[in-house]
Structure 1
Amino acid sequence: MVGQVAEPGKSTGAEEAMFPRFLGAFCALLLAATPALAFPDRPIRLVVPYGPGGITDIAARILAPRLGDELGQQVVVDNRPGGAAQIGFGLAARAEPDGHTLVLATTALAANPVLFRSIPYDARRDFTPVSLVGLVPMVLVVHPSSPARTVPEFIALVRSRGGEMTYGSAGNGSGNHLSTEMFNHAAGGLRALHVPYRGGGQVMTDLVGNRLGYVFAVLPTARSFIVAGQLRAIAVTGAARSSAVPDVPTVAEAALPGFALNEWLGLLGPAGLPESVVAKLHGAVVAALRHPETAQRFRDIGVEVQGSTPDGLRAHLDRELNRWADLATHVRFEVAD
């Protein structure tokens, strides 16, 4: 059978039958591209699961304006403190997965599963990683009147007090608390009395007032007290010395080879973010962190800028979840509901 030949200006029946299929394919391609083209179409909420003034809040307020410039939309910091960061994490996990709600997560995201019997999210399943933003070294600080000046001297001092020496933290499950227990375990099972506070400010006030034995403080919080001579820095917890206090050795080089511990800041969204949205967010975060002014502001407060891939943050979170789960097999934490 000879195929039908269309008259000039007229279509064949076969062509008319194929047109809906071409139109359907075109629409499918257009819909697939829509998230990247439309995002963001309104201001972005950056959830900080802590109150104003802490290192997470400060970091968010450094990042937000530059991230907004890169995305062409305002990024609004939304402080949602409470429940050892569970309120903020839960809010972000339940948000619409369109990229307009993000959370600046911390070590608490990985540690909370060992501190609470039930939490309103699953750290592995309920979030989409975007980028590791920064690492925040901790620093072991004591009152200047303390006889300990080195890590070995400090370990010997704590051991000599038979579990009666006090250490302060911003609360159960805080970075101070967890870092101290990690150090105590690594140092051969040191025993000390944990004194939890409702925030980091009063912890530093009481250490300066010589009402506590020691604190593992985030470096940005402790640095001004160290520089002013109000506290003595014995060691930092990172894998390398910090440029913010270059004369202070690491715990690893001073006494415990291989010891390395940082607070961390990571940007995540709810589970199910489209790949195109993740890619756009990731590109914007990396560009923001590489901006000279933003990078310098982070360095000034002691944050080591990262800018990892989404897979890099996922791998980091997995390692952290495993680290704290392992610590819980050696250290008895007070578990809350």
Structure 2
Amino acid sequence: MNSLPRRSASIIVLAALFGIPSLCGAQAFPTRPVTVVVPYPPGGTADILARTVGQKLSERLGQPVVVENKAGAGTAIGTRYVAEAAADGYTLLLGTVSSHAINPAMSQVGYDPVRDFTAVASLGSIPFVLVARSDAPYQTMPELTAAAKKQPGAVSYASAGPGTSNHLAGEMLGSAAGIKLLHVPYRGSAPALADVLAGHVPLMFDLQTTSAPYVRQGKLKALAVTGAQRSALMPSVPTVAESGLPGYEVSAWFALFAPAKVPRPVQKRLSDDLAAVLGAPEMVQKLRELGAEPDARSPAEFTSYVRSESEKYEKVVKDAGLSR
């Protein structure tokens, strides 16, 4: 028998035993379907985004990308599931500001938002807009803060519930502006917005996608958007930072994460393919139709951002007395 095949066989066995990356594992990725876990019920923005991106990612990977909804415990069930999954790149998470910043600050969720995940790609972010009912006595952020200072606790705002993004946006505003706002929680954004439209509550931090049609119809007025820059959806509306509170930023951001310690070549393959998917003009257009601003940060940059967001919301929760 020729000695070359025996030598090659020995090398392959050693590669399998010791994980030599040039001959096995990462370079073969992917050889089967990839699952994207969405920690929300079907039909919401996160779900739509995961399915839209997943379809295009599948074309580049040459394997199906399956979206699996694992809702519950305020995103903790699905997020923890991915944190505990095999670090092989076949299980990803559609993570959000709630799963990776707000919920870990609010309660014991069973995972660390930075240590237990590998950032793969930032997808985009949707800023909130501070809307007031059409007959509210203030037209701008400075007028609102002046009214709130004159009567502490008399100006109320609606939210989707305690510990939600739009609740904490109000807590952050109160802290930054030195004012006291009255929080009125609802069971979801839809009933909260309905009561603002009906005139029962004067204010709400709502996703710009939802409120923009009512602003255009004159049923609501937009006082400020909460992103770092002005929104393409409402270019004439100033940011909160422009309105006298520099550094203020709240956005509902979305990103794809893998479990911690996923092999570097696998992370790079996913990140590179997602960068191509997200940079395509049709995907940029789709994101903007969802009200999202594309986000081109690298995985390393986004990891730093997640860390800063986690620290920010830890402080907001602590300052507001919202204990774990």
Establish whether TM, by shorter chain, passes 0.5.
yes
Count of residue correspondences: 322
Closer, same or farther: CA 172–84 of 1 in aligned 2, 3 Å: farther
- Please, which moves more after superposition, 287-296 or 32-41? 32-41
Q: Tell me the equivalent position of 1:273.
A: 262
Q: Deviations over 1:286-312 (max 9, x none)?
A: 111011111111122321111322211
Aligned-CA RMSD value: 2.6
Q: Tell me the equivalent position of 1:115.
A: 106
2:157 matched to 1:167? yes
Q: How do 1:239-250 and structure 2 match up within 5 A? A: 239-250=228-239
CA contact (8 A) 1:128 1:273 kept: yes
Q: Structure 2: 5+ residue runs without aligned partners?
A: none
Q: How do 1:116-265 and structure 2 match up within 5 A? A: 116=107, 118-188=108-178, 190-265=179-254
CA contact (8 A) 2:19 2:25 kept: no
Q: Tell me the equivalent position of 2:78.
A: 88
Cα offset for 1:253?
A: 1.4
**Alpha-carbon distance in structure 2 between the residues aligned to 1:74 and 1:242:** 34
SS in 2 for 1:255: coil
CA contact (8 A) 1:242 1:302 kept: no
Cα offset for 1:35?
A: 2.9
Q: Structure 1: 5+ residue runs without aligned partners?
A: 1-8
Q: Deviations over 1:33-88 (max 9, x none)?
A: 43334322222221222223433223223322112222222222222222221112
Cα offset for 1:317?
A: 0.9
SS in 2 for 1:308: coil
Q: Percent identity?
A: 37
Closer, same or farther: CA 20–137 of 1 in aligned 2, 3 Å: closer
Q: Deviations over 1:5-50 (max 9, x none)?
A: xxxx999xxx999888766666668654433343222222212222
Cα offset for 1:162?
A: 2.8
- Please, which moves more after superposition, 255-264 or 24-33? 24-33
SS in 2 for 1:64: helix
Closer, same or farther: CA 185–96 of 1 in aligned 2, 3 Å: same
Q: Tell me the equivalent position of 1:4.
A: none
Task: Find 2:41's aligned residue among 51, 70, 73.
Answer: 51
**Alpha-carbon distance in structure 1 between the residues aligned to 2:13 and 2:204:** 63
TM-score by length of 1: 0.86
**Alpha-carbon distance in structure 2 between the residues aligned to 1:275 and 1:319:** 23
Give the residue type in structure 2 aligned to 1:112: N
Give the residue type in structure 1 aligned to 2:72: G
2:306 matched to 1:311? no
